[in-house]
Structure 1
Amino acid sequence: MKIDIQTLPVVIIGAGPVGLAAAAHLLRRGETPVLFEAGETVGAAMLQWGQVRLFSPWRYLVDQQAQALLEQQGWQAPDPDAYPTGRQLVEAYLFPLAQVPAIRAVLRLQTRVSAVSRLGMDKVKTPDREAAPFVVRYQQADGEEQELLARAVIDASGTYQTPNPLGAHGMMALGERSLHQQIFYGIPDVLGTERERYAGRRVLVVGSGHSAQQAVLELAQLAEQEPETQILWAIRRAGVGQMFGGGESDALPERGHLGTRALALLKRGQVRLVTGVQIHALARTPAGIVMIGEEERIGPVDEVIAATGFRPDFSFLRELRLSLDPALESPMALAPLIDPNVHSCGTVPPHGVDELTHAEPNFFLVGMKSYGRAPTFLMLTGYEQVRSIVAALCGEWEAARAVELVLPETGVCSSDGGACCAPAVSSPLLAVGLPRRATGAKSH
């Protein structure tokens, strides 16, 4: 029996801010999405760093189409000038959005997508491939596997569940796996749920991005209350350079303030910084955990916080033809626009459906996952991505290509060819931004 592919739903993987925005855009255009979320709630990944305050105020954190759906239900937007934490963003915005009847009807929580392919085709087969629907296999909380056919798939699953390892060579350092109970990947709630873990302990923070700075600042607050707490900070950079950002010149004041505070800790001697660290192995000794590099040994310490960024998981997309940059693991056409080795943080050119298209028609990576291993993803970039993609799926190509992003001038990466951004640390702290400016159709 021939299947009319246009009658099938669009599957969205991941119910974070960008995935929910994709669902809102589809619903507002009369389309039928199905939204899969592996966690128990929407925004489950954000809740894992819920104590962290975002860089941007509320006015820059809400998708327009999602807001329209919410306002139909009587939702009152928070103070546009207030800066929410990750948890506040989820509770005041994502939770109400998930309760909008049209969203609730298509949302499937505790449902993990385990594989995506084409009906009756593996990765190798080409004839009539575009006409074949996607097969989305998913596993529910009870362990049962099922399948769903779709006309398009939008992967907004993020990267937070696949952190980068400590090893300088991109692999886990020797001994890292066996010491996993003493390593926290990401930003622990040092002053809250994880307080007992770090109070009075010797803690090593690895990483030079905003996540690392946040962790160091929280540990310093803990040390003021628990004086036996010791903080050691290791970075791969040879020097701090512009690591602490643009300070007062940063268009996102909270981001500039974070760097200013972290730098002040170093100047006061509250934190010891070690530069040029290349970790090859971790060893448990009678005195504690020791990091072993090419020429140095760091430690001993009791706990390690690996704020080394995240990377995308493509394991469940193995049967799809992904057009990925070999270095960044972002869509091929997007990579030169965001490459931190050569590109300035504040000047990402306009991008939408054209840059996000793969060799697999009607499959898209969006949100933080679309940036692969590159840093500085902004939340409104994700909202603009799904707006463009949904317009294209609805056949409105002029609207899909009318994309232009205006990113903040940060005072960072303005004169060093992007070198200050070289460590690929995709921090949840960066999932914010300033609004885009639409200026009409633009050819790419």
Structure 2
Amino acid sequence: MTLIELSPPASQTDRLATLPVVVIGAGPVGLAAAAQLIERGIDVVVLERGSHIAESVRAWGHVRLFSPWRHLVDPAARRMLEAAGWQHPDPDAAPTGAELVEQYLEPLARLDAIAAVVRLDVDVVAVAREGMDRTRTRGRAAVPFAVRVRGADGVVDELPARAVIDASGTFTSPNPLTSSGLELLGADEVSDLVTGPLPDVRGAERARFAGRRVTVVGAGHSAANTLLALVELAREAPGTEVRWLIRNTRAARVTTSPDDELVDRAALGSRLEAAVARGDVERIEGFEIVRARRVDGAVELVGRQGDALVTHTADIVVGATGFRPDLGMLRELRLELDDIVEAPRRLAPLIDPNVHSCGTVEPHGYRELQHPEPGFFVVGMKSYGRAPTFLLATGYEQVRSVAALIAGDAQAAASVELVLPATGVCSTGDAGGQGGCCA
């Protein structure tokens, strides 16, 4: 890959210099990108599909993060907040998703400088170059991006941009239940009986789960969080049965390392194993789902265990099989992605979950995030593709480096530094529930 700097000749940059940087997504990393750009005096527009900032975080707001506050606040955002009188929460406390929103992201979004650039209810449907599909090369770097959007009223429009930072995340793109990665056969037939990851089983969705036979599919941290919540629900609501269906012959993805500095995460695996040993959770191993059927108002999963074709019946199935990036809106851009994890090709070896834990990922910035499309960057959880080893602190360093590059500060852009907590080994297959297995 040839690295392409954001430095076309001055004669070609006159129009680009008048345009804003468009940030896709108003979650923690998207808002951090905005703060970094604003601090450098760069015009920015943040486009959020939801009606509120951090919609994905709100969806799992009942779940406690593994990382404490010391790793959850972007430095530029902190400087802006503290200038307005904000006080940093206890650095050693780990908040829930809801607390992250209420105590940090909402105050950040209310700052005049941030509020002025965030646009809600705007769905980005495609990104391209003005008048250029991906096959045209001549003069490409000097042509503005065209960000096609759909508003809440259904009207489609295009916004020009000097650069685009995609911080849209992966939470709304869960992996299917099948081992093949293809959509589940019969999915439409049982769609009302299958949920996405991290449902609020003891809170907002309690009535849906209480007294039912619930099967959680997946072997990572989002599955573990839901299973432990269901165990508590079963103690409160007689008749609730908790099953754990995994594709492998053993559950090895939830870390129990005593050396893990993220204490809550280190305890997750041991708590779940204890629940299995007590009989609170029935674990079914080596079940590879092929299709689903609706039988007497329940879900019948058809799968393979070894050479045998077997079935499993549940009233409700929770899919906790990880996430993948939605790349459809980027079809007309020139991307260079790793063939396996769908991360930028230079970043992929640094985040390979078969080799790295969340805390052993090397600091990285714009060089590892660049694509052949100059001025376009995928950051945050989406930059990790299908790898589950993401930490919010990593995303903050990514956008600091990218913002410095856009500002023309090559030295700051290239100088990447990050101290991450020591962690146990994350494994492939589940992206956790908190911005990856390690947020």
| Band of TM-score, shorter chain | over 0.9
**1:303–1:191 Cα change, 3 Å:** same
The match for 1:442 is none
- Specify which of 425, 428, 431 is matched with residue 425 of structure 1: 431
Q: Which runs of 5+ in 2 are unaligned?
A: 1-10
- 1:117 paired with 2:128, answer yes
| 1:149 correspondence with 2:157 | no
Preserved CA contact (<8 Å) 1:58 1:80: yes
| C-alpha distance in 1 between matches for 2:24 and 2:424 | 35
Counterpart of 1:106, as a letter, is V
Amino acid at match of 1:172: E
> Is residue 61–residue 432 contact of structure 1 (8 Å, CA) maintained in 2?
no
Q: State the shift of 1:257 in Å.
A: 1.7
1:290 to 294, 300, 324: 300
Which residue of structure 2 lines up, in the alignment, with residue 335 of structure 1? 348
Equivalents in 1 of 2:379, 2:281: separation in Å?
A: 37
Question: Could you say if the C-alpha distance between residues 79 and 406 of structure 1 is closer, same or farther in structure 2, counting changes exceeding 3 Å?
Answer: closer
**Following superposition of structure 1 onto structure 2, how do residues 36-51 of structure 1 map, counting pairs within 5 Å?**
36-51=47-62
User: Could you tell me how far apart the structure 2 residues matched to 1:39 and 1:279 are?
Assistant: 32
Equivalent residues of 2:193, 2:298 under 8 A apart: no
Rounded Cα–Cα distance in structure 2 between residues aligned with 1:320 and 1:83: 38
| Deviation by residue 1:74-133 (Cα, 9 ceiling, x = unmatched) | 112222222211011111111111110011111101111111111121111100000101
Question: Which of 305, 309, 334 is equivalent to 2:318?
Answer: 305
Any conservation in 2 of the 1:51–1:86 contact (CA below 8 Å)?
Answer: yes
Deviations 1:291-324 (A, max 9, x none): 1112242422100000011111111111111111
Contact 1:18 1:386 in 2 (8 A): yes
Secondary structure at 1:92 match in 2: helix
Distance 2:68 2:191 in 1: 35
Q: Structure 2 residue aligned with 1:371, among 384, 388, 394? A: 384
* Contact 1:115-1:316 at 8 Å conserved across structures: yes
Q: What residue in structure 2 maps to residue 262 of structure 1?
A: 272
Call closer, same or farther: CA 1:4–1:431 in 2, change over 3 Å.
farther
TM-score (norm 1): 0.92
Alignment of 1:35-434 (within 5 A): 35-241=46-252, 243-286=253-296, 288-294=298-304, 295-412=308-425, 421-428=427-434, 430=436
In the superposition, relative to structure 1, how do residues 405 and 73 fare at CA in structure 2: closer, same or farther (>3 Å)?
Answer: closer
Decide whether the 8 Å contact of 1:249 with 1:410 is kept in 2: yes
Question: 1:411: how far off?
Answer: 3.6
Query: Does the aligned pair in 1 maintain the 2:121–2:152 contact within 8 Å?
Result: yes
User: Retained in 2: the 8 A contact 1:287–1:300?
Assistant: no
Classify the secondary structure of the residue corresponding to 2:300: strand
Looking at structure 2, the residues matched to 82 and 338 of structure 1 have their Cα atoms a distance apart, in angstroms, of 27
Q: Distance in 2 between matches of 1:142 and 1:93?
A: 30
Query: More deviation in 140-149 or 89-98?
Result: 140-149
Q: For the aligned residues, what is the CA RMSD?
A: 1.7
Could you tell me which amino acid in structure 1 is paired with residue 301 of structure 2?
A: M
Q: CA deviation at 1:139?
A: 1.4
Answer whether contact 1:14 1:37 (CA < 8 A) is retained: yes
2:83 and 2:43 map into 1 onto residues whose CA distance is 19
1:22 aligned partner: 33
Q: Which residue matches 2:45? A: 34
Moved more, 211-220 or 342-351: 342-351
Q: Which amino acid aligns with 2:38?
A: L
Give, in whole Å, the separation in 2 of the partners of 1:80 and 1:341. 30
Name the counterpart of 2:8: none
Would the alpha carbon gap of residues 55 and 342 (structure 1) be closer, same or farther in structure 2, given more than 3 Å must change? closer
CA contact (8 A) 1:60 1:380 kept: yes
CA distance in 2 between counterparts of 1:9 and 1:349 reads 30
1:429 Cα deviation from its structure 2 partner? 5.8
Please give the alpha-carbon distance, in whole angstroms, between the structure 2 residues aligned to 1:177 and 1:325. Answer: 31
Q: Check the 8 A contact 1:55/1:430 in 2, yes or no.
A: no
1:288, distance to aligned residue in structure 2 (A): 2.9
Superposed CA deviations along residues 16-75 of structure 1, whole A, max 9, x for unmatched, are 000000000000011111000011111111100110001122121111100111112211
What CA distance in whole angstroms lies between the structure 1 residues aligned with 2:424 and 2:129?
46
Query: 1: distance between equivalents of 2:141 and 2:244?
Result: 50
Task: Say which SS state the counterpart of residue 377 (structure 1) adopts.
Answer: coil
Please state how far the C-alpha of 1:422 moved relative to its aligned partner.
2.6
Aligned residues: 425
Give the deviation of 1:11 after TM superposition.
Answer: 0.4
Gaps of 5+ in 1: 414-420, 434-444
Aligned partners of 1:80, 1:344: CA distance in 2, in Å?
22
Residue 34 of structure 1: SS of its match in structure 2? strand
- Cα displacement (A) at 1:180: 1.0
Q: Which moved more, 1:215-224 or 1:396-405?
A: 396-405
Are residues 211 and 247 of structure 1, via their aligned partners in 2, closer, same or farther at CA, if it must alter by over 3 Å? same
Structure 2 Cα separation of the partners of residues 286 and 154 of structure 1: 48
Name the CA distance, whole Å, in 1 between partners of 2:416 and 2:317.
Answer: 42
Return structure 1 stretches of 4+ with deviation > 4 angstroms: none
Deviation at 1:431, TM superposition (A): 6.7
Distance 1:162 1:429, change over 3 A: closer
Contact 1:60 1:432 (C-alpha < 8 Å) held by counterparts: no
